[in-house]
């Protein structure tokens, strides 16, 4: 009952004209920017970070919840019409949604993605409402050693999921951790990796890192390939936007299954959205009565993964709010938004910032409805947006990226840092290094170090504490499996492929 009372209070605040307006603005901005090719949810949130300078914390987080959801909606539009997945979790949507669009069924694909996201988002928000406070209570009892172990698990899974090769993912992660080290050590006041540059005493501005890696890196990538890479062909939206009764019949079960797969995996401290979307795609492929259509535009292959994607993304908010641990690049950028307001998500958040949390959760419900109402009729408008000339689009992205970074401290140093990270992001993308582990390492690193040192102080310097406490040891073991598992699977597959050769 407590939960319902809190939620009602949250709705009371979320329904205030200002917060409604902010939720609306967030959803619109998020979809608008998210639709633009090349801009996934992480980039969208990073680009719009400067907006946080303007509002009070609650208002800003309501705005960002809208941007977060809107960015995800927008991503499915580009996946379906342009065959461009904003991030790995949108890949299944391109597999089925784009062929659907090619055969003139773009309207149905867009509709099942939007409605499926609404269904999944709403169910997941109910899940957050009831499980969130409970999870926070459990999290409160966690000791530093376990806390550190959970962060290691988050690092391990993000690294393993996004990287084809764990070594490159780990390089990215450790570089991020190193970036997090820059600045004055919070416990002893020692300057570390500052090289006497006063601007670095507060650490590298993480917003500059995020905007540089995502937005400026993307612009450089576009510039490098603009003449030689084939231009993505935009498909016209065929037919009306909506679903036939047959589409509904084939969609509703995948929506629910996708939600059931996405929510729990996303809510794990090691979640992320990649595993559940691909899992959902495989489940739908196996269960479908239209197996032959898969790869050629099966609506189940859009409905399931899109729902799983959205459910996982909502689920990601659970570890973010209750543990302060982001499990995807987008959540990492969202955590930056929190930290800019000195709001530190974690076990105490539900108690110390109760009003803020519940307004945020209530605005998630509202945002979901708004996006559905907003997006279906506005799809033709988004489609027009996709026709923006690429040079103007990139120029605009750079203008807003620079604005956001400059407005941080009104200092060109941060802009220089962002340009450097843009170059780094560009280089990493070209050579197969994922950037998500880097951003997570940079955001979470300082927290991980604090917990690490607390645990060590508790054990009086005994390194084995992480392995002698059963829970911590179990979580670390899981991390090892998460990292080594894909490697072992790949090695096994390679062996199996090799075996027949000597026989013949």
Partner 1 sequence: MSPRDATANPANDAAGAVAPPDERPWSPRIAALLFLAAGVAVLGWAFAIPEGAIDQDVGPRAFPLLVGVGLCVAASVAVVQAFRGSDPALTEQAREEARLTEWRPVAALLALLVCYLFALAPCGYWQSTAVLFALVARVLGSRRILRDALIGLVLALAVYFLFDRLLGIHLPPGIVRLAF
Considering only the C-alpha atoms of the chain, give the largest distance between any 2 of them, rounded to a whole number of Å: 75
Closest approach, Cβ 455 to partner 1, in A, equals 9
Q: Which of 13, 88, 222, 328 binds partner 1 (CB under 8 A)?
A: 222
Cβ distance 422 to 220 under 8 Å? Answer: yes
Stretch that binds partner 1, among 254-262, 361-369, 373-381, 459-467 (CB under 8 A): 459-467
Identity of the residue, 134 or 223, whose beta carbon is nearer to partner 1 in the bound complex: 223
- Burial category of 401 from C-beta neighbours within 10 Å (exposed 0-12, middle 13-18, buried 19 and up): buried
What are the residues facing 191 on neighbouring strands?
A: 184
Token pair 């075996």: residue = 499
Stretch that binds partner 1, among 137-145, 217-225, 251-259, 330-338 (CB under 8 A): 217-225
What Cα–Cα distance (Å) separates residue 118 from each residue in 75, 261, 262, 447, 450?
14, 16, 14, 34, 38
Q: Which of 37, 41, 50, 97 binds partner 1 (CB under 8 A)?
A: 50
Interface characters, 244-283, with partner 1 (x: CB under 8 A) = ----------------------------------------
403 binds partner 1 (CB under 8 A): yes
Taking the CA atoms of 466, 467, 470 and 474 in sequence, report the sign of the dihedral they define.
positive
Closest approach, Cβ 231 to partner 1, in A, equals 11
Task: With CB under 8 A as the rule, give the number of residues binding partner 1.
Answer: 68
227 binds partner 1 (CB under 8 A): yes
Residues 264 and 322: their CA atoms lie apart, in Å, by 15
Residues 239 and 188: their CA atoms lie apart, in Å, by 65
Q: Which of 3, 126, 419, 481 binds partner 1 (CB under 8 A)?
A: 419
Q: The tokens of 498 are what?
A: 């090799």
91 binds partner 1 (CB under 8 A): no
Alpha helices, H only, 431-469: 436-458, 465-468
Closest approach, Cβ 439 to partner 1, in A, equals 16
What Cα–Cα distance (Å) separates residue 178 from each residue in 50, 181, 188, 441?
25, 5, 18, 8
Q: Which of 219, 302, 311, 312 binds partner 1 (CB under 8 A)?
A: 219
Identity of the residue, 287 or 487, whose beta carbon is nearer to partner 1 in the bound complex: 487
Q: Which of 286, 292, 392, 470 binds partner 1 (CB under 8 A)?
A: 392
Strands, E assignment, 15-169: none
Q: Which of 25, 376, 407, 484 binds partner 1 (CB under 8 A)?
A: 407
Cβ distance 159 to 329 under 8 Å? Answer: no
Identity of the residue, 254 or 425, whose beta carbon is nearer to partner 1 in the bound complex: 425
Closest approach, Cβ 135 to partner 1, in A, equals 27
Cβ distance 320 to 331 under 8 Å? Answer: yes
Closest approach, Cβ 255 to partner 1, in A, equals 33
Token pair 């019949």: residue = 249
Q: Which of 396, 471, 480, 488 binds partner 1 (CB under 8 A)?
A: 396
452 binds partner 1 (CB under 8 A): yes
Residue 103 main-chain phi, psi, to 5 deg: -95, 20
Interface characters, 361-390, with partner 1 (x: CB under 8 A) = ----------------------------xx
Q: Which of 391, 471, 489, 491 binds partner 1 (CB under 8 A)?
A: 391
Cβ distance 151 to 475 under 8 Å? Answer: no
Q: Which helix (H) or strand (E) holds 190?
A: none
Q: The tokens of 84 are what?
A: 């461009």
| 3 state SS of 186 | coil
The footprint of partner 1 on residues 150-189 (CB under 8 A) is: 164-165, 167-168, 170-171, 173-175, 177-178, 181, 185, 187-188
Q: Which of 15, 193, 252, 341 binds partner 1 (CB under 8 A)?
A: 193
Q: Which of 15, 453, 473, 484 binds partner 1 (CB under 8 A)?
A: 453
| 3 state SS of 184 | strand
Can you list the pairs that 378-382 forms with residues at least 24 positions away whose Cβ atoms lie under 8 Å? 378/31, 379/77, 379/107, 379/110, 379/114, 379/237, 379/241, 380/237, 380/241, 382/31, 382/32, 382/35, 382/74, 382/77
Q: What residues line the site for partner 1 (CB under 8 A)? A: 50, 53-54, 164-165, 167-168, 170-171, 173-175, 177-178, 181, 185, 187-188, 190, 192-193, 216, 219-220, 222-229, 389-392, 394-396, 398-399, 402-403, 406-407, 410, 412, 415-416, 419, 422-423, 426-428, 430-433, 445, 449, 452-453, 456-457, 459-461
């Amino acid at each position: 009952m407590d939960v319902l009372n809190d939620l009602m209070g949250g709705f009371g605040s979320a329904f205030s004209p200002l917060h409604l307006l902010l939720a609306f603005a967030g959803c619109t901005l998020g979809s608008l920017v998210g639709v633009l090719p090349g801009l996934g949810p992480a980039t969208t949130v990073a680009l719009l970070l400067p907006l946080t300078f303007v509002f009070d914390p609650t208002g800003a987080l309501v705005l960002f919840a809208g941007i977060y959801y809107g960015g995800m909606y927008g991503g499915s539009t580009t996946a379906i019409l342009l065959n461009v997945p904003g991030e790995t979790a949108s890949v299944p949507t391109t597999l089925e949604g784009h062929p659907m669009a090619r055969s003139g069924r773009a309207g149905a694909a867009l509709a099942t993605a939007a409605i499926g996201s609404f269904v999944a988002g709403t169910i997941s928000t109910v899940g957050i409402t009831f499980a969130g406070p409970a999870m926070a209570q459990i999290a409160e009892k966690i000791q530093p050693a376990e806390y550190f172990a959970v962060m290691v698990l988050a690092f391990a899974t993000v690294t393993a999921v996004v990287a084809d090769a764990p070594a490159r993912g780990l390089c990215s992660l450790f570089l991020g951790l190193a970036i997090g080290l820059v600045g004055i050590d919070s416990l002893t006041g020692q300057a570390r990796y500052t090289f006497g540059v006063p601007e670095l005493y507060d650490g590298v501005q993480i917003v500059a890192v995020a905007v540089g890696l995502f937005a400026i890196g993307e612009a450089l990538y576009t510039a490098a390939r603009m003449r030689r890479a084939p231009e993505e062909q935009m498909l016209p939206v065929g037919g009306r936007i909506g679903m036939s009764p047959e589409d509904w019949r084939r969609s509703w079960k995948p929506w629910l299954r996708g939600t059931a797969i996405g929510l729990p995996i996303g809510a794990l401290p090691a979640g992320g959205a990649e595993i559940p979307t691909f899992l959902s795609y495989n489940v739908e492929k196996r269960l479908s009565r239209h197996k032959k259509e898969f790869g050629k535009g099966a609506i189940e292959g859009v409905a399931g993964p899109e729902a799983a994607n959205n459910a996982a993304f909502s689920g990601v908010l659970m570890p973010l709010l209750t543990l302060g641990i982001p499990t995807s690049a987008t959540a990492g950028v969202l955590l930056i938004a929190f930290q800019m307001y000195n709001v530190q998500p974690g076990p105490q958040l539900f108690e110390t910032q109760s009003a803020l949390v519940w307004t945020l959760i209530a605005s998630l419900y509202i945002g979901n409805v708004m996006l559905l109402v907003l997006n279906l009729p506005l799809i033709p408008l988004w489609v027009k947006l996709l026709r923006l000339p690429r040079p103007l689009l990139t120029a605009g992205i750079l203008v807003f990226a620079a604005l956001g970074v400059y407005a941080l401290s009104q200092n060109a140093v941060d802009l220089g840092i962002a340009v450097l990270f843009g170059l780094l992001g560009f280089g990493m993308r070209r050579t197969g290094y994922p950037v998500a582990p880097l951003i997570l390492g940079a955001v979470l690193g300082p927290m991980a170090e604090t917990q690490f040192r607390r645990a060590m102080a508790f054990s009086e310097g005994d390194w084995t504490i992480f392995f002698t406490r059963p829970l911590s040891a179990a979580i670390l073991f899981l991390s090892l499996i998460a990292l080594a598992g894909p490697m072992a699977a790949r090695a096994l597959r390679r062996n199996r492929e090799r075996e027949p050769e000597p026989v013949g």
